[in-house]
Chain A
Amino acid sequence: NAGVMQNPRHLVRRRGQEARLRCSPMKGHSHVYWYRQLPEEGLKFMVYLQKENIIDESGMPKERFSAEFPKEGPSILRIQQVVRGDSAAYFCASSPPASTFTDTQYFGPGTRLTVL
């Protein structure tokens, strides 16, 4: 059973470009979470999605960031007009559909975004 997949693993963008990060949850999982890890810090929650729905986006910056989890295909975290402060590791996690507060989240390997 494949784990959570993220691609690309490394992404380099110049200031002002767009970054698209993809996450395929574990098979059978319909809940996806995105977290950001700045250098030398812990992970910070960004957004929680279920298929075609954003459940909680309280951790998302108000501008330039968006996320989706379509009916078909991976979840996408999109960052428009990237700035140097967006350089970080972005992790995706998934959990099964019966989740409320009790299920373990399984993390992908992360995408390391570097903005030049």
Chain B
Amino acid sequence: GIQVEQSPPDLILQEGANSTLRCNFSDSVNNLQWFHQNPWGQLINLFYIPSGTKQNGRLSATTVATERYSLLYISSSQTTDSGVYFCAGPFSGGYNKLIFGAGTRLAVHP
């Protein structure tokens, strides 16, 4: 089946540090979404990024569809960035159902 692998699985940062989260996928992706699940369990849409680069404040994302990976950059991290980051995509033949990676658990310490 389709594999969505995220790395690293866990990440601990000091406030102010930068980080890069990676998402590899095993099949052609029709779009790719990044989500942040905050410590209260709420899922927040970060990016919808089938290809190219997008930026939103301190966050940016790049998807290279031909090489089947996406990167999420967090700059000047804050404690409120803590939580789990998921990437997910619908893949060819899968309607729009999202297949999620296992997530990267981020803890930002003051």
Contact = CB atoms under 8 A, between A and B. Distances in A.
Contacts, number: 62
Q: Is the interface of A mostly helix, strand, loop or mixed?
A: strand
A105 B86 contact: no
A72 interface: no
A104 B96 CA distance: 9
Contact of A43 (B31, B48, B96, B100): B100
Contact of B95 (A35, A48, A106, A110): A48
Interface residues of B, number: 22
Interface residues of A, number: 28
26 contacts: A33-B97, A33-B98, A41-B102, A42-B86, A42-B101, A42-B103, A43-B43, A43-B100, A45-B97, A45-B98, A48-B96, A59-B97, A89-B41, A91-B43, A95-B96, A101-B30, A101-B31, A102-B30, A103-B31, A104-B45, A105-B96, A105-B98, A106-B45, A107-B35, A109-B41, A110-B42
Interface of A: 31, 33, 35, 41-45, 48, 55-56, 59, 89, 91, 93, 95, 99-107, 109-110, 112
